[in-house]
């Protein structure tokens, strides 16, 4: 039995840390939270300064007993739970329970914090412990009290008015509202027909297309509904087949088999890399690129963080996966830059390291972005030791991290105007990559928007004044589409934008909505169920505050202020 007892949340984390600390340290897991509010009325006593009444979580009592037994033998306690609000609260609850049982008398108690599970980080944390941060603990208690009070007061009403077993939550209810409102928007949507007209051109052996953007001196707008009254004389929309065919006939007669190049615009664009991952952007990209649901992304990220045996015992492969910060430690940046130099050459390394600004108000710069613990550990180096899913997520994190410190990509864009008689114009656009830069390693995925393929096209060399053979003019029918239903990536993006919930809660919000049968996930898109619609209608009409986006976001800001010690809970 070691003289020092270290407590972490999970057995996987315990195993990795034990390897680094040696025989003087015993490392045990609490298996998550050890106490929660009593599940009945009065758990939060609103009459007596919101006193909170806790009880032990039954399934974790055996782990708590093992911790208590070990503490009787140990000389010092190291609370090494996760470096966030929840982790701080778990440490505090453990401290309180062991203190009540008189197992801490005359014994040293330390809180140790690390953001990656590597030998250096663990040794550093143990050598520089701190005290429990009561501001963080209180912020978690305030959050838990609010969740309890909202749920405990609203849920019975839903049982009474709608059906037994339903629940309302401080964060899940606004999230449900987002999904229901999007569905209502889709149902109200009126499809509008519109037509585009394209010229098929050819120069030597290279074909390209150009789109009509001016006809009879009038600018083309896609939709008739977009043309304002004052624009009637200067703008035009092609809204039916007869009109499109008539325009085609006119243009073909005017063209006589050729169009004239009247303008060639060339520009160079710089495209900058995205910042390294934070929790929400990792969840979004894993959904877009890997098809992972949010909960799965977090489970796999946790495995990579807690440690995997890659040949020399378990080692943490990524930094802590719940973070709002895009900050990278100086030594991490040096490691990344060295990897870029070795793998991609000095040409792809900017003179100065890139610094990214964290936008989240509550992000702590001591926290880091999600990155590999060792930049030189290429995905190929660990491929045979990890599962296919772990490899996919690690690869995504590795690529994004390396790319964020590489030079920008340089693109050449070209826009060409082709005249067809007086007052008629076709426009062709294209782009080429001059220097890939960071795009050599990574490009961010796209949500729901159809990438504009014409912008990616290569155009032949074109010179102002030259005549280009016209092969045909083709009208094409289109219909406007309703806004898409949310998928996990776009829902997380909107929740984050509105300030609802926090990175650690997004996966739980989505799971709760599905478990309560408020929404279904069909082809990776959320559709509200009838029950979800009824619950949302009931809450929206009678308890507006609880589903109000602004109210929920401001509450999150206040809880963040408590965690920073700026506000009393």
Q: Which residues are catalytically annotated? A: 320
- The 10 Å Cβ neighbour count of residue 232 is 10
Distance, CA of 324 to CA of 359 (rounded, Å) = 8
Give the distance from CA 374 to its chain's centroid. Answer: 23
- Angle, to 10 degrees, between the axis of helix 294-306 and the axis of helix 388-403? 80
Q: What is the CA radius of gyration of the chain?
A: 30
Alpha-carbon gap, residue 505 to 498, rounded angstroms: 14
Q: Which of 395, 402, 401 is nearest to 340 (CA)?
A: 402
* Cα within 13 Å of Cα(531), Cβ side: 17
> CA-CA distances (angstroms) from residue 122 to 315, 370, 548?
12, 17, 43
Tokens of 258: 């050729």
Fill in the DSSP letter of residue 314: E
- Length of the chain counted residue by residue: 569
DSSP result, 72-140: HH-SEEEE---SSHHHHHHHHHHHHHHHHTT--TT-EEEE---SS-SHHHHHHHHHS-B---HHHHHHH
Q: What angle do CA 256, 262, 268 make, to 5 degrees?
A: 135
Question: With 0-12 CB in 10 A as exposed, 13-18 as middle and 19+ as buried, what is 47?
Answer: exposed
Contact yes or no for 396/379 (Cβ under 8 A) = no
**CA separation for the pair 43, 228 (Å, rounded):** 59
85: its two tokens: 């609000």
For 18, list phi and psi in degrees, rounded to 5.
-55, -40
**Cα separation, 460 vs 553, whole angstroms:** 52
Angle between helices 294-306 and 11-21 (to 10 degrees): 20
Tokens for 3?
A: 């003289």
- DSSP characters for 338-363? HHHHHHH-GGGS-SS--------TT-
The answer to whether the CB of 197 falls within 8 A of the CB of 247 is: yes
Between strands 218-220 and 235-236, the pairing is parallel
Give the SS3 label for residue 64: helix
């Amino acid at each position: 039995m070691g003289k020092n007892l270290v407590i972490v949340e999970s057995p996987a984390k315990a195993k990795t840390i034990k390897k680094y600390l040696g025989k003087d340290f015993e490392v045990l897991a609490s298996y998550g939270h050890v106490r929660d509010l009593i599940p009945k009325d009065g758990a939060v006593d609103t009459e007596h300064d919101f006193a909170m009444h806790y009880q032990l979580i039954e399934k974790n009592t055996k782990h708590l007993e093992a911790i208590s037994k070990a503490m009787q033998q140990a000389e010092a306690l190291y609370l090494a739970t996760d470096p966030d609000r929840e982790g701080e609260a778990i440490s505090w609850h453990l401290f309180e329970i062991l203190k009540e049982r008189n197992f801490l008398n005359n014994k040293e108690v330390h809180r140790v914090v690390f953001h990656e599970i590597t030998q250096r980080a663990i040794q550093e944390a143990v050598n520089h412990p701190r005290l429990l941060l009561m501001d963080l603990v209180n912020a978690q208690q305030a959050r838990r009290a609010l969740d309890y009070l909202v749920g405990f007061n609203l849920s019975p009403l839903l049982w009474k008015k709608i059906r037994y077993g339903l629940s309302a939550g401080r964060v899940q209810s606004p999230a449900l509202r987002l999904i229901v409102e999007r569905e209502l928007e889709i149902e109200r949507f009126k499809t509008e027909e519109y037509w585009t007209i394209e010229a098929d051109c050819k120069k030597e052996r290279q074909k390209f297309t150009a789109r009509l953007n001016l006809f009879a001196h009038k600018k083309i707008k896609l939709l008739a509904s977009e043309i304002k009254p004052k624009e009637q004389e200067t703008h035009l929309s092609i809204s039916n087949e007869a009109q499109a065919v008539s325009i085609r006939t006119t243009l073909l007669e005017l063209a006589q088999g050729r169009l004239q190049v009247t303008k060639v615009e060339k520009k160079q664009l710089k495209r900058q890399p995205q910042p390294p991952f934070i929790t929400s952007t990792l969840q979004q990209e894993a959904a877009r690129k890997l098809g992972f649901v949010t909960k799965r992304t977090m489970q796999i990220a946790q495995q990579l963080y807690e440690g995997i045996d890659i040949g020399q015992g378990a080692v943490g492969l990524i930094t802590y996966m719940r973070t709002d910060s895009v900050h990278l430690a100086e030594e991490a940046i040096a490691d990344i830059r060295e990897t870029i130099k070795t793998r991609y050459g000095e040409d792809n390394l900017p003179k100065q390291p890139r610094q990214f600004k964290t936008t989240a108000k509550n992000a702590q710069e001591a926290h880091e972005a999600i990155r590999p613990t060792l930049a030189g550990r290429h995905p190929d180096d660990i491929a045979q030791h990890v599962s296919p899913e772990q490899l996919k997520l690690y690869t995504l994190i590795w690529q994004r991290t390396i790319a964020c410190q590489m030079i920008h990509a340089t693109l050449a864009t070209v826009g060409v105007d082709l005249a067809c008689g007086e007052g008629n114009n076709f426009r062709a656009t294209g782009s080429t990559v001059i220097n890939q830069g960071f795009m050599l390693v990574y490009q961010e995925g796209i949500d729901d928007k159809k990438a504009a393929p014409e912008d990616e096209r290569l155009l032949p060399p074109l010179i102002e004044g030259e005549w280009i053979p016209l092969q045909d003019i083709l009208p094409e029918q289109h219909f406007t589409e309703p806004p898409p239903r949310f998928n996990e990536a776009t829902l997380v993006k909107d929740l984050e934008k509105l300030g609802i919930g926090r990175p650690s809660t997004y996966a739980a919000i989505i799971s709760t909505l599905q478990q309560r049968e408020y929404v279904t996930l069909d082809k990776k898109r959320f559709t509200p169920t009838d029950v979800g619609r009824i619950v949302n209608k009931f809450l929206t009409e009678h308890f507006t505050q609880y589903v109000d986006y602004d109210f929920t976001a401001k509450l999150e800001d206040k809880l963040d202020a408590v965690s920073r010690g700026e506000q009393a809970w």
